[in-house]
Amino acid sequence: MSNLTTQNYDGQLIQIVEQSQIEPTKGAQMMQLFVPYFKRMDEVERKISILPSENPSKEDCEMAKAIRKALRDNRLEAERIKKQGKESIILEGRLYDNLYNIIDNSSKPLEKRCEAIEKWHEIEEAKRVEAIYQERKNMCDEIGADTMFVNIRQMSDEQFQAFIDQINAANAAKAEADRIEADRIAAEERKLDERMKERLKYLAANDIDGELLQIREITDDQFTTFCDRQLEIKKQAEEAKQRAIEAEAQRIEAAKKADVERAEMQRLQAEETAKLQAKLDEERKQAEAARAELAKAAELERIEAAKAAESDRAALLAPDRDKLAFLVTIIYGIKMPELQTPEAGRIATNVKTLLRKVTKYIEEEADKL
């Protein structure tokens, strides 16, 4: 920063005071309050200019410290003067306000009184115009006239009456149209009611459930289609019911027939059981007789065996070929018992066949000896 002389400071201060637009004498007085602090700062600044800015000595540092404190004290003192000056200005401003408020509060009521007298005719006219407007607005509201885009306030009485007559005529025409439409709707409703009664009667006569059907509103074609469909469904249901009845009758008849057949089968089974029991009793008797015959045959066989044993003892003394021929004679001499059942008969037949094969084998082999 370049050095500022007191003369330079004075020039700057004078320029600032002139630009402030304050009364020159008062501005000069305020400037004189700060001139001593500008001069003191100018003196201190000259001391700073002789201090080195780099590598200062201890004395230089002490001097810089003392200069800084002197500058701070000078600035704080100037600030104190500024605050005192502003406080006095604030107090003056408050005094100005208070003095003015007395005049303002006293003058405004008087002005209003004068204005009321001055504009009495204008106010009364405005009241009259407003009263007319409210009356017209009420009339419009009563007849339902839309005044949003119509300036009824500025209409003449003739224009407003014409407007009201127009709305009344429109309302009358609308009322007549509404009446005609209401009569038409009522006639249509009566017609629909009569048609609904006829349809309900038809549904009842044909036992058709129309609870979920909009009987009153649907067209004749829709109603006819619905009834035809319901009659077809009813016919199919009756046919299905008849088929079910016939099927049930057939089932009952079949059950009766099955019961008769089951009873006949049980009777036949009972007869067969009785026959079988009689046969078993007969077979038991035959078996007992056969056992007695077998016992008799066994006794005869025992006797024959004794005889055979005697013959065997005699045969032991004969050659082997003779012995085998004697064996064949013995086999031929075997007698089959009298049997009652076919099964036992088949067994006896098989035994005979086997014995013939045995005798044939013995004879063939004995010839080779």
Q: How many residues does the chain have?
A: 369
Note whether 146 and 72 are same-domain residues.
no
Asked if 114 and 158 sit in the same domain, the reply is no
| pLDDT for 167 beyond 60 | yes
Q: Are residues 142 and 51 in the same domain?
A: no
The mean pLDDT value for 330-337 works out to 82
Does 149 lie in the same domain as 177? yes
* Confidence check: pLDDT of 306 > 80: no
Note the pLDDT of residue 93. 79
Classify residue 284: in a domain, yes or no: no
Estimate the crossing angle of helix 320-332 against helix 342-367, to 10 degrees. Answer: 160
88 inside domain: yes
* Overall domain count for the chain: 3
Are residues 43 and 95 located together in one domain of the fold? yes
- Residue 260 placed within a domain: no
Q: Which of 145-154, 179-188, 360-369 has the highest mean pLDDT?
A: 179-188
Q: For the chain, give the secondary structure using H, E and C.
A: CCCCCHHHHHHHHHHHHHHCCCCHHHHHHHHHHHHHHHHHHHHHHHHHHCCCCCCCCHHHHHHHHHHHHHHHHHHHHHHHHHHHHHHHHHHHHHHHHHHHHHHHHHHHHHHHHHHHHHCHHHHHHHHHHHHHHHHHHHHHHHHCCCCCCCCCCCCCHHHHHHHHHHHHHHHHHHHHHHHHHHHHHHHHHHHHHHHHHHHHHHHHHCCCCCCCCCCCCCCHHHHHHHHHHHHHHHHHHHHHHHHHHHHHHHHHHHHHHHHHHHHHHHHHHHHHHHHHHHHHHHHHHHHHHHHHHHHHHHHHHHHHHHHHHHHHHHHCCCCHHHHHHHHHHHHHCCCCCCCCCHHHHHHHHHHHHHHHHHHHHHHHHHHCC
283 — phi, psi (to 5°)? Answer: -65, -35
Boundary-marking domain end, from 118, 144, 172: 118
| Residue 158 sits in the same domain as residue 83 | no
Same domain, 146 and 53: no
Residue 238 has pLDDT above 70, yes or no: yes
Residue 110 inside a domain? The answer is: yes
104 backbone φψ class: left, alpha, beta (φ>0; ψ -120 to 50): alpha
| CB-CB contact of 57 with 28 (8 Å) | no
pLDDT of residue 5: 40
Task: Determine the structural domain holding residue 326 and report its residue range.
Answer: 318-369
Query: Quick one: pLDDT band at residue 183, thresholds 50, 70, 90?
Result: very high
Which tens digits make up the pLDDT trace of 34-57? 888 888 888 887 888 888 888 888
Is pLDDT of 2 > 60? Answer: no
Band of pLDDT at residue 312, cut at 50, 70 and 90 = low
pLDDT value of position 1: 36
List the one residue out of 66, 3, 79, 8 whose CA is nearest residue 37.
Answer: 79
3 state SS for 139-168:
HHHHHCCCCCCCCCCCCCHHHHHHHHHHHH
| Alpha-carbon torsion angle 206, 207, 209, 210, nearest 10 | 40
Q: Is 90 exceeded by the pLDDT of residue 276? A: no
Residues of the chain with pLDDT > 70: what percent? 93
| Residues 129, 114 share a domain | no
Say what the pLDDT of residue 12 is.
Answer: 73
Q: For residues 128-134, give the mean pLDDT.
A: 90
326 CB-near residues (< 8 Å, 6+ apart): 311, 315, 318
pLDDT digits (tens, 9 = 90+) for 67-123: 889 889 989 998 998 898 888 888 877 877 887 787 778 788 878 878 878 888 888
113 to 3, 107, 125: CA distances (angstroms): 67, 10, 18
Same domain, yes or no: 97 and 51: yes
Q: To 10 degrees, what angle do helices 220-315 and 157-205 make?
A: 30
CA angle 50/55/58 to nearest 5° reads: 75
Q: In terms of domains, do 326 and 355 share one?
A: yes
Residue 289 belongs to a domain: no
Sign of the CA dihedral 51, 55, 58, 61? positive
224 occurs within a structural domain: no
Q: Is residue 11 part of a domain?
A: yes
For residues 239 and 223, is the Cβ–Cβ distance under 8 A? no
- In this structure, the answer to whether residues 130 and 106 fall within a common structural domain is no
Which tens digits make up the pLDDT trace of 320-333?
Answer: 787 888 888 888 88
Q: What is the mean pLDDT of residues 337-354?
A: 86
Q: Tokens in use for 361?
A: 């084998």
Q: How far is CA 352 from CA 296, 302, 327, 335, 345, in A?
A: 21, 20, 16, 10, 11
As a whole number of angstroms, the distance between CA 56 and CA 51 comes to: 8
Q: Which of 118, 145, 167 is the last residue of a domain?
A: 118
Q: In the prediction, which pLDDT does 10 show?
A: 62
Q: Are residue 113 and residue 128 in the same domain, yes or no?
A: no
- Enter the pTM of the model: 0.31
Provide the pLDDT for residue 176.
92
Residue at which a domain ends, from 152, 174, 199: 199
287 in Cβ contact with 341 (< 8 Å): no
Q: What is the CA radius of gyration of the chain?
A: 77
The answer to whether residue 230 sits within a structural domain is no
What average pLDDT does this structure show over 282-306? 76
**In the prediction, which pLDDT does 7 show?**
46
Give me 198's structure tokens.
């006829």
Q: What is the pLDDT of residue 199?
A: 83
Of 174-178, 256-260, 283-287, the least confident:
283-287
Q: Tell me: pLDDT of 24 over 70.
A: yes
